[in-house]
C-alpha cells in the first residue's frame, strides 16, 4: 500500500498572514512557505507574528527544504527566524529568492541555507517529492502554484494567484498545465487561496490600474506627484515609471526597500527603467517639482515609513504642501485601515491633494475572486479540497464554492492552524493537532515575546498599574516604612488621595493580619487585599505590583 502523505498547517488558516505548511512523506518534511504576519491593534509593542515553530523544532532533522510560492512577507518573512534553529535549502523563482535573501542576509543567516532557483514549468526532486512549479499571476512577479507528485497522487497548491487576461509581463496563470495534470493523473487534493472568496465577480487586470493612473497623472500634470505602493509590486512600479517618463518626470525613490527592490528587479530584467530616469531622493537636486515623481514605501500607513513621516511633516527629504499630489496605489490590508486613514488625513492637513482607493481606481487585488476561483476548480477538478490563506470566514466561503463546483459531499475539509491531515488510499482525514499559537516578535527581533508579556501589556494599556512598596523588619516582620502606593494610568493621584489613603490602610491591615512574615507571603496578602479594594471602588483591574523590602 502506498505511503501516506501528511499535511500539517502551521499558519495562514484562520488569518491572513504567516502562511506555512509542512508536507511529509517517508518521514521527510518539505515546508510550503514560511511567512510572517503584521500585528493587529490588540498587540501593543508587537512588530511581527510568526508561526509556532514548536513542532518543527521537534522534527528539525526531518526538514529537507522549503518551497516558496512567491516573495511576499506573509510567505517568506518567517525564514529569517526559523533558520536560526533549522538549516535547509530554499526553492523558488529567482525574484522570490532575491526578495527572501535580503532578510536572511540582514539576519546573518546566509550560511544556514542555500538558494535553489527554479524555472517556470520545472519539476524538481525535493526530498521524497517531485515538485512542479506552475506559473501564476499575482501582485509580485514570478509566483508559482505547485503540484506535489506524491505517493498519494497529486497534491496541488494554488499559491497566491489571480487570472489576469493581459498581464504586464505576459506571464499567465498556466491553466493549460493545470488541466493537463488533471487529465494525466487527476488532482487528489487541492489547497486554494481564499483571500477573496467572499468577493463576487472577477479581479480587474493590473493593466487597468495603469490606465487609471495615467489619467490621474494627466489631471495633475503641473504638480509634484508622490505615489506609494508595495515595494515588491514590480508591475505597478513599471507602470508608474512608464507614465512618469512619458510626462518627462524624473523618478526618485524613497524608502530603503523601494530602492533595493527596484535595483533587484532591474538586475533580473524584470523591470525596465532607464538608469538615467531614476535617482535616489537624496540626489534629486533642484529638479523642477512638477517634473518629479517620487515612488515611496508606506502605502499601508506603517508608522516609521517614508509616507507616514511625510504626512506628519517629518520627512528628511520632502516637505508636503499645496502643490503636491499624493497617490496611495494600494488598498489597506485588514487591520491597517486606521493607520492609513491617519496618513491620508495628515496629508490633507498639509494642503496636498490625496488620491486613494476610496475615491479612485488606483489598485487591483492580486487574489482571485469568485469567478476566477470557479474557473480554477473547473480546470483542476480536485477530488478533495482544502481552503487555505484566509480568515475563517474566507475559508468557509471558499468551501461553499468548492461544493458548488462539484466536489463530492464530505470532501471539502475546512482546517485551521495546527491541523494535521493525512492522505491515504482511503481519503483525507484529520489525524491530530500540533501547537499553532501566535509567536510574537518585538522590537529588536532578537527574542520572541510570550503570551504573558502581551497580556501584561494589554493590562497596562487598558487598566494601568498600581505599585505598593513596603519595608518590613527582617526578623519581626513589622512594618518599618510604607506602605507607599504609586499608580500610573489607574486614577489621577491628586484627585484620589482618599482612595490611596484607604488603599494604604487596607494593605497595612492585610500585612499585619498575615500569619507568616515571608516576603512572598506578604506580597500575596498585599496584592489580594489591594485587588479587592481597587475592584470594588473603581471597577477596574490594573496590574498590581507589590514590592517588599527587608531591613
Ligand atoms: Zn502574496
Ligand atoms: Zn499571501
In-domain check, residue 272 = yes
**367 an active-site residue?**
yes
Question: Considering 297, 324, 355, which residue would you say is the last residue of a domain?
Answer: 355
Other beta carbons within 10 angstroms of residue 401's beta carbon come to 21
- Give the distance (Å) from ligand 2 centre to CA of residue 172: 18
Give the C-alpha separation, 199 to 355, whole Å: 24
pLDDT > 80? residue 493: no
Choose one of 305, 336, 355: the last residue of a domain.
355
Q: How far apart, in whole angstroms, are the C-alpha atoms of residue 267 and residue 270?
A: 8
Task: Count structural domains, the chain.
Answer: 3
Given 75, 235, 367, 397, the catalytic residue: 367
CATH number of the domain that residue 292 is part of = 3.40.50.10710
The pLDDT of residue 450 is above 70: no
Looking at the structure, tell me whether residues 430 and 316 fall in a common domain: no
Q: Write out pLDDT tens, residues 37-53.
A: 987 766 666 678 889 99
Under 8 Å CB-to-CB from 140, ≥6 apart: which residues?
A: 70, 71, 72, 95, 96, 99, 230, 232, 233, 234, 366
Helix (H) or strand (E) holding 65: strand 63-67
CA torsion angle 24 29 33 36 (round to 10): 110
Q: How far is the CA of 463 from the centre of ligand 1 (A)?
A: 38
- Pick from 410, 441, 472: which residue ends a domain? 441
Same domain, 274 and 417: no
- Interval between CA 175 and ligand 1 midpoint (Å): 19
Does 534 reside within a domain? yes
Same domain, 73 and 215: no
121 and 143 assigned to the same domain: yes
pLDDT band at 305 (very low <50, low <70, confident <90, very high): confident
Q: Are residues 192 and 217 in the same domain?
A: no
Same domain, 349 and 406: no
Q: For residue 56, is pLDDT > 80?
A: yes
- The C-alpha cell at 107 is 539576519
Q: Tell me what the mean pLDDT of segment 309-325 comes to.
A: 93
Q: What is the pLDDT of residues 205-240, one digit of tens each?
A: 999 999 999 999 999 999 999 999 999 999 999 999
Q: What are the angstrom distances between the C-alpha of 39 and each of 7, 49, 235, 374, 439?
A: 26, 6, 27, 32, 11
Instruction: Give the Cβ contact number of residue 272 at 10 Å.
Output: 10
CATH number at residue 495: 3.10.20.580
Distance of alpha carbon 231 from alpha carbon 357, whole angstroms: 17
Backbone angles phi, psi at 422, to 5 degrees: -125, 135
- Calculate the average pLDDT of the chain: 91
139 Cα–ligand 2 center, Å: 10
Cα dihedral 349, 350, 352, 354 sign: negative
- Residues with CB under 5 Å of ion ligand 1 are 72, 160
Mean pLDDT of 521-525: 81
C-alpha 293 – ligand 2 centre gap (Å): 29
Longest dimension (CA), the chain: 86
Q: Which ligand sits closest to the CA of 390? A: 2
Same domain, 62 and 137: yes
pLDDT band at 324; cut points 50, 70, 90: very high
Beta-carbon contacts of 97 under 8 Å, excluding residues fewer than 6 positions away, are 68, 71, 90, 115, 116, 117
Ligand nearest to the CA of 35: 2
One DSSP character per residue, 462-498 reads HH-EEEEEEEE-TTT--EEEEEEEEEESSS-GGG-HH
pLDDT value of residue 520: 79
Q: Is 280 helix (H, G, I), strand (E, B) or coil?
A: strand
Q: Per-residue confidence at 508, pLDDT binned at 50, 70, 90?
A: confident
- Nearest ligand by distance to the CA of 96: 1
Say whether pLDDT at 17 is over 70: yes
Phi, psi of 543 (to 5 degrees): -70, 130
Task: Please check whether residues 433 and 492 belong to one and the same domain.
Answer: no
Ligand nearest the Cα of residue 71 is: 1
Q: Are 307 and 214 in the same domain?
A: yes
* 452 occurs within a structural domain: no
Expressed in angstroms and rounded, the spacing between residue 139 Cα and the centre of ligand 1 is 7
| One domain, residues 182 and 282 | no
Residue 447 within a domain: no
Residues 351 and 432 in one domain: no
Is residue 476 located within the same domain as residue 512? yes
In a domain, 456, yes or no: no
62 flagged as catalytic? no
Residue 73 sits in a domain whose CATH number is: 3.60.15.10
Tell me if residue 301 falls in helix, strand or coil.
coil
Q: What is the pLDDT of residue 506?
A: 82
Name the catalytic one among 33, 193, 324, 448: 193
Q: Looking at the domain assignment, is residue 453 inside a domain?
A: no
Gap from CA of 17 to ligand 1 centroid (Å): 9
Model confidence band, residue 539 (pLDDT cutoffs 50, 70, 90): confident
> In the prediction, which pLDDT does 447 show?
56
| Ligand in closest contact with the CA of 162 | 1
Please check whether residue 450 lies inside any domain of the structure.
no
366 CA from centroid of ligand 1 (Å):
7
In a domain, residue 457? The reply is no
**pLDDT digits 0-9 by tens, 366-420:** 999 999 999 999 999 999 999 999 999 999 999 999 999 999 999 999 999 999 9
Domain with 494, as residue range(s), is: 463-550
Q: How far is the CA of 160 from the centre of ligand 2 (A)?
A: 6
3-state secondary structure of 189: strand
Amino acid at each position: 500500500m502506498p505511503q501516506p502523505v501528511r499535511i500539517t498547517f502551521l499558519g495562514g488558516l484562520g488569518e491572513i498572514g504567516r502562511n506555512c505548511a509542512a508536507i511529509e512523506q517517508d518521514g521527510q518534511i518539505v515546508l510550503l512557505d514560511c511567512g510572517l504576519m503584521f500585528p493587529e491593534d490588540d498587540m501593543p509593542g508587537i512588530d511581527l507574528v510568526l508561526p509556532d515553530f514548536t513542532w518543527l523544532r521537534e522534527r528539525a532533522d526531518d526538514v529537507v527544504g522549503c518551497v516558496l510560492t512567491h516573495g511576499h512577507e506573509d510567505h517568506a518573512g518567517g525564514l529569517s527566524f526559523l533558520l536560526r534553529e533549522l538549516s535547509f535549502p530554499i526553492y523558488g523563482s529567482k525574484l522570490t529568492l532575491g526578495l527572501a535573501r535580503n532578510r536572511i542576509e540582514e539576519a546573518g543567516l546566509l550560511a544556514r541555507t542555500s538558494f535553489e532557483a527554479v524555472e517556470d514549468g520545472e519539476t524538481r526532486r525535493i526530498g521524497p517529492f517531485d515538485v512542479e512549479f506552475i506559473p501564476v499571476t499575482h501582485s509580485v512577479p514570478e509566483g508559482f502554484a505547485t503540484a506535489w507528485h506524491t505517493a498519494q497522487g497529486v497534491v496541488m497548491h494554488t499559491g497566491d494567484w489571480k487570472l489576469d487576461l493581459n498581464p504586464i509581463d505576459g506571464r499567465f496563470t498556466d491553466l493549460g498545465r493545470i488541466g493537463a495534470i488533471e487529465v494525466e493523473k487527476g488532482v487528489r487534493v487541492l489547497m486554494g487561496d481564499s483571500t477573496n472568496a467572499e468577493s463576487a465577480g472577477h479581479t480587474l487586470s493590473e493593466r487597468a490600474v495603469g490606465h487609471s493612473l495615467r489619467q490621474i497623472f494627466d489631471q495633475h500634470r503641473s504638480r509634484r506627484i508622490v505615489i506609494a505602493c508595495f515595494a515588491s509590486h514590480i508591475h505597478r512600479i513599471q507602470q508608474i515609471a512608464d507614465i512618469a517618463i512619458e510626462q518627462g518626470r524624473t523618478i526618485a525613490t524613497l524608502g530603503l526597500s523601494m530602492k533595493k527592490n527596484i535595483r533587484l528587479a532591474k538586475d533580473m530584467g524584470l523591470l525596465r527603467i532607464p538608469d538615467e530616469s531614476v535617482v535616489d531622493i537624496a540626489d534629486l537636486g533642484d529638479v523642477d517639482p512638477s517634473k518629479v515623481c517620487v515612488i515611496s514605501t508606506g502605502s499601508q500607513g506603517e508608522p516609521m515609513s517614508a509616507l507616514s513621516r511625510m504626512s506628519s511633516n517629518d520627512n528628511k527629504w520632502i516637505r508636503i504642501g499645496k502643490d503636491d499630489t499624493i497617490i496611495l496605489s494600494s488598498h489597506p490590508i485588514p487591520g491597517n485601515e486606521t493607520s492609513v486613514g491617519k496618513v491620508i488625513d495628515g496629508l490633507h492637513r498639509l494642503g496636498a491633494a490625496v488620491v486613494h482607493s476610496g475615491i479612485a481606481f488606483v489598485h487591483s487585488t492580486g487574489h482571485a475572486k469568485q469567478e476566477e476561483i470557479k474557473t480554477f476548480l473547473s480546470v483542476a477538478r480536485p477530488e478533495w479540497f482544502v481552503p487555505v490563506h484566509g480568515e475563517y470566514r474566507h475559508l468557509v466561503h471558499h468551501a461553499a464554492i468548492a461544493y458548488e463546483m462539484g466536489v463530492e459531499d464530505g470532501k471539502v475539509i475546512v482546517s485551521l492552524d495546527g491541523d494535521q491531515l493525512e492522505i491515504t488510499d482511503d481519503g483525507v482525514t484529520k489525524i491530530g493537532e500540533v501547537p499553532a499559537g501566535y509567536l510574537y516578535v518585538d522590537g529588536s527581533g532578537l527574542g520572541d515575546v510570550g503570551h504573558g508579556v502581551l497580556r501584561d501589556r494589554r493590562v497596562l494599556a487598558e487598566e494601568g498599574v498600581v505599585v505598593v512598596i513596603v519595608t518590613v523588619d527582617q526578623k519581626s516582620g513589622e512594618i518599618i516604612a510604607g506602605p507607599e502606593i504609586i499608580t500610573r494610568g489607574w486614577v489621577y493621584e491628586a484627585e484620589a488621595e482618599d482612595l490611596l489613603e484607604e488603599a494604604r490602610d487596607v494593605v497595612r491591615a492585610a500585612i499585619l493580619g498575615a500569619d507568616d512574615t515571608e516576603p512572598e507571603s506578604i506580597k500575596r496578602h498585599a496584592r489580594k487585599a489591594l485587588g479587592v479594594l481597587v475592584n470594588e471602588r473603581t471597577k477596574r483591574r490594573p496590574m498590581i505590583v507589590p514590592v517588599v523590602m527587608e531591613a
